[in-house]
Amino acid sequence: MDISFALTGKGYVIVAADTTAARSIVKMKVDEDKIKVLSPHLLMAYSGEPGDTVQFAEYIERNIRLYHIRNTYALRPPSAASWIRRSLADSLRSRRPYAVNLLVGGYDTSTHTPHLYWIDYLGTMSEVPFAAHGYGAYFALSLLDRYHDPEASVEEGLATLRRCLDEVAKRLVVTPEKYKVKIVDKDGVREVEI
Amino acid sequence: MSSIVNNIKDKVTGKDNSSKQNQESEQTFTIQPHPAQKTNDPRDLQGNNFAADPKVGAFHAREPYIPPPEIKNNLPPAQCTRSREERTRALVLHPSTVLSVHHFPPRQASRYLPNMSIMEYNGGSVIAMVGKECVAIASDLRLGNQALGISSNFQKIFPMTDRIYLGLPGLATDVTTLKETFRYRLNMYKIKEEREIEPQTFAHLVSSTLYERRFAPWFIEPVMAGIEKTPSGAYKPFIAATDLIGCINFAKDFVVAGTASTKLFGVAEGLWEPDLEPEDLFETCAQTLLNAVDRDAYSGWGAEVYLITKDKVIKRTLKGRMD
Amino acid sequence: MPDGSFAHPQQRSFNPYTDNGGTILAIAGADFTVIAGDTRQSEGYSIQTRYAPKVFRLTDRAVLAVNGFAADGNMFVKKVKQRLEWYRHAHAKDMPLRAIARLIQTMLYAQRFFPYYVYNILGGIEEDGSYEREACRAAGAAQSLVQPFLDNQIYFKNQTAAPGQSHPSHLPLPDVLAIVIDSFTSATERHIEVGDGLEIYVVVAKGRSPQGLDTMRGVQEMSARPDGDRMFVIRRDLKKD
């Protein structure tokens, strides 16, 4: 079961996802990147049904890219999130829905604000200060209720994320060993080691 | 024993139990007469009913026809095409006779519904109330995944026009989808008609939008509130609600929907009264919502109330208890 | 199977329980207790009777309301009354309220694996003149309608007292009766299983004023002695549709 977290801070969004690709009880891969960079200031962590995830994420990635090429500018985070949500909502009532949960984090270069969207496979979307998917949510959300600060610096934000990962490592039976962490801010997207 | 005590007490106190003050001020209830009749007393109904009216009675069935004895007693015995023996023989089935029996499949909730209630998957509740030349509509702000709370800032009430607000409790994905659908349809309406939609018309738009998906419905039970402009130019409060396939309920007092609907009904029925002034309506609506969602695990986490009058709309965000 | 043969396994089931609707409610004041119940008894959409009491006088100062499966409720009250009579014969006094509460608890648990399908609310006055474990409680079909209303009106939940003032911890009897009657008219309006009639038992502690109750319309005094705890019953009509 994949785990992903995200939190906003002062002018940035941190997105983290575990790197295991599992099938049944077997770990098939331990360095899978489950966070797509959709545009210069937009990240998307995806999890859910294996197969659906990559298929859907690539469909989104290429269409966001197509919009960028056609219009010379990228979709802003609220619009991108709305379009992604609509893709899932339409898929839900199709013959074969995608079972993919998403965390969409972006930095709006026009208003200079970070945005984070929690989206599930039903197409439920909510803009939130912090979010989690998978079993990690049951441990991390209460921690984030206590420690999240929208005015925190990147270092403080990463420290808060660290608390979440440590709690999951301590209490969850099937703990992922590695996470990939990406940050999006005014300078674009970068990956950090944690 | 108790009657003796009562009698003694009456004599001592000099009071009579049958005549008391504040007797008139309290409500009494009896069996309600059918709307078409004024009374339940059978004597008042005699010779006064519909069929007894000679002008109308002609079109209705007469009393049962009882044939005179000479006809009644000379009727031939009832005839049957087959004899009794033949009929008995026909009842014994030939071994090769295949009886086709149709078995109904075991009742399932729906093939769209897994083993849980979709209407309660995300939680949330909405209420709308009528006041004196004003209406209020209020909702909680929780978004959950069953028992897990996801967001304490998930809006369920959306402005449709300046004077119509729509609450959409139910499955959260459909909240967003329907909000977008109505925005699209109202924009089209405005372009074609070159005017804003009226609440009554809007209620029917909501109804038909939901009924369009009769057999794969949107899992939403909309509640709407607005101020209507009558032909004379006066303003009239308007509320309505529909079920998830668009059956409209035009109520005169209040409408509720969502996971706390039974609680909302109970509190609203106790607190609401006719012709509340705007600020009193706000208080009534807010108290009803807060106390109802406090007894519901799937609703709460803050609330918002819209108070709509003919010249302004006031939105207030309430904190309530956050557990 | 359709041919009536027993070639396939047959399953029979018998459900010994049913739900007879109705609602009960109790509120404690500083020196009195109010225990009320509607009198409709229904099964499904049918009304079995418009007058089936759900509230019963146990002793001079204890009242028990039972709600749920009426047959179990009546049987349970009967057994509790029998135990109280035995107690009276053995000890030459009425069982105290606390003891009745514990008795009811053990009697219910004795049926742990074939339970009485009944929700009980016990109300009354304790020996030292105190009253409650809880200030208000609704149970039954319209519990979800009534309880949040009581939270608001009895506990003043979500209400802020005026500056420098505080909410009363106990309401006077006339206010409590008004809230009880409002609760039942509201529940009657919105719940099909509630209605027909309302019976409100009031137990007033010894020497305390019945606060104008004795002059109320439709009240009947049931006190055994005029100098002990006093018990009254008020009967009202509810809508019958």
Query: Where do we find the tokens 């742990």?
Result: C112
For residue C156, the model assigns a pLDDT of 96
User: Taking CB atoms and an 8 Å limit, are A123 and B180 in contact across chains?
Assistant: no
For residue A87, the model assigns a pLDDT of 98
B–C CB contacts, 8 A cutoff, strictly below: 100
DSSP conformation letters of A69-94: HHHSSPPPHHHHHHHHHHHHHHHHTS
Superfamily of domain C23-238 in CATH is Aminohydrolase, N-terminal nucleophile (Ntn) domain (3.60.20.10)
Same domain, B131 and B274: yes
Check whether A133 has a pLDDT greater than 70.
yes
**Which residues in chain B are closer than 8 Å to A122, comparing Cβ atoms?**
171-173
- Beta bridge partners, A180, equal A17
B residues 91-110 lying closer than 8 A (beta carbon) to C = 99, 101
Q: Which chains touch C (3 or more CB pairs under 8 A)?
A: B
- Six-digit token pair at C79? 């057994």
User: Taking CB atoms and an 8 Å limit, are C149 and B266 in contact across chains?
Assistant: yes
User: Taking CB atoms and an 8 Å limit, are A123 and B154 in contact across chains?
Assistant: no
Q: Average pLDDT of chain B?
A: 82
Q: Which of A173, A190, A172 is nearest to A181 (CA)?
A: A190
Does B14 map to a domain? no
Query: Residue C173: helix, strand or coil by DSSP?
Result: helix
Contact yes or no for B118/B172 (Cβ under 8 A): no
Same domain, B167 and B102: no
Task: Say which amino acid occupies C162.
Answer: A
Tell me the nearest-neighbour CA distance from B2 into chain C, angstroms: 5
Same domain, B185 and B302: yes
- Domain C-terminal end among B57, B91, B112: B112
How far apart (Å, rounded) are the C-alpha atoms in residues B209 and B157?
A: 17
Same domain, B152 and B291: yes
Domain membership of residue A7 as a residue range: 2-190
Q: Which chains touch A (3 or more CB pairs under 8 A)?
A: B
Q: Which residue of B has its CA nearest to C222?
A: B2
- Beta bridge partners, B317, equal B304
Q: Which pLDDT band holds residue B98 (cuts at 50, 70, 90)? A: very low
How far apart (Å, rounded) are the C-alpha atoms in residues A119 and B96?
A: 61
C residues 162-201 lying closer than 8 A (beta carbon) to B = 181-183, 185-190
Selecting from A124, A127, A138 the residue whose C-beta is nearest the C-beta of B173 gives A124
Q: Which comes out higher in pLDDT, residue B34 or B222?
A: B222
ipTM value for the complex: 0.94
pLDDT in tens, chain C (241 residues): 456 666 777 788 899 999 999 999 999 999 999 999 999 999 999 999 999 999 999 999 999 999 999 999 999 999 999 999 999 999 999 999 999 999 999 999 999 999 999 999 999 998 876 556 788 999 999 999 999 999 999 999 999 999 999 999 999 999 999 999 999 999 999 999 999 999 999 999 998 888 889 888 889 999 988 888 999 999 999 999 9
- Domain C-terminal end among B112, B132, B154: B112
Tell me the nearest-neighbour CA distance from B169 into chain C, angstroms: 19
Q: Which residue of A has its CA nearest to B141?
A: A126
Query: Residue C38: helix, strand or coil by DSSP?
Result: strand
How far apart (Å, rounded) are the C-alpha atoms in residues A2 and A8?
A: 21
Q: What is the DSSP letter of C168?
A: -
**Which residues in chain B are closer than 8 Å to A131, comparing Cβ atoms?**
150
C residues 68-87 lying closer than 8 A (beta carbon) to B = none
Contact yes or no for B258/B268 (Cβ under 8 A): no
Does B3 map to a domain? no
Write the CB contacts of A110 (distance below 8 Å, at least 6 apart in sequence).
Answer: A76
**Which residues in chain A are closer than 8 Å to B143, comparing Cβ atoms?**
124, 126
**Which residues in chain A are closer than 8 Å to B145, comparing Cβ atoms?**
120
Domain membership of residue B94 as a residue range: 19-112
Number of structural domains, chain A?
Answer: 1
Asked if B176 is an interface residue toward chain A (Cβ–Cβ < 8 A), one would say: yes
Same domain, B125 and B108: no
Q: Which pLDDT band holds residue B103 (cuts at 50, 70, 90)? A: very low
Does B31 map to a domain? yes
Task: Say which amino acid occupies B212.
Answer: E
Number of structural domains, chain B?
Answer: 2
For residue B109, the model assigns a pLDDT of 44
**Which residues in chain B are closer than 8 Å to C212, comparing Cβ atoms?**
none
- Domain C-terminal end among B78, B112, B146: B112
CA distances from A72 to A44, A69, A84, A104, B203 (A): 21, 5, 20, 21, 42
Does B174 map to a domain? yes
Q: Which residue of B has its CA nearest to A91?
A: B173
Query: Where do we find the tokens 């009745």?
Result: C100
Check whether B47 has a pLDDT greater than 70.
no
What is the CA angle B1-B4-B8, rounded to 5? 145
Does B13 map to a domain? no
Q: Residues C221-236: pLDDT tens digits?
A: 999 888 889 999 999 9
**Which residues in chain A are closer than 8 Å to B180, comparing Cβ atoms?**
86
DSSP conformation letters of B217-236: --SB--EEEEEEE-TTS-EE
Asked if C155 is an interface residue toward chain B (Cβ–Cβ < 8 A), one would say: no
User: Phi/psi at A4 (nearest 5 deg)?
Assistant: -140, 145
Query: Residue B91: helix, strand or coil by DSSP?
Result: helix
Asked if B178 is an interface residue toward chain A (Cβ–Cβ < 8 A), one would say: no
- Give chain B's end-to-end CA distance (angstroms, integer): 52
Q: Which comes out higher in pLDDT, residue A74 or B50?
A: A74
Helix (H) or strand (E) holding C71: helix C70-91
For residue B112, the model assigns a pLDDT of 45
Check whether B305 has a pLDDT greater than 60.
yes
How far apart (Å, rounded) are the C-alpha atoms in residues A159 and A147?
A: 10
Question: Where residue A170 sits, what CATH number does that domain have?
Answer: 3.60.20.10
How far apart (Å, rounded) are the C-alpha atoms in residues B301 and B299?
A: 7
Selecting from B9, B30, B287 the residue whose C-beta is nearest the C-beta of C240 gives B30
Does B9 map to a domain? no
Q: Which chains touch B (3 or more CB pairs under 8 A)?
A: A, C
For residue B24, the model assigns a pLDDT of 60
Q: What is the DSSP letter of B120?
A: G
User: Phi/psi at B179 (nearest 5 deg)?
Assistant: -55, -45
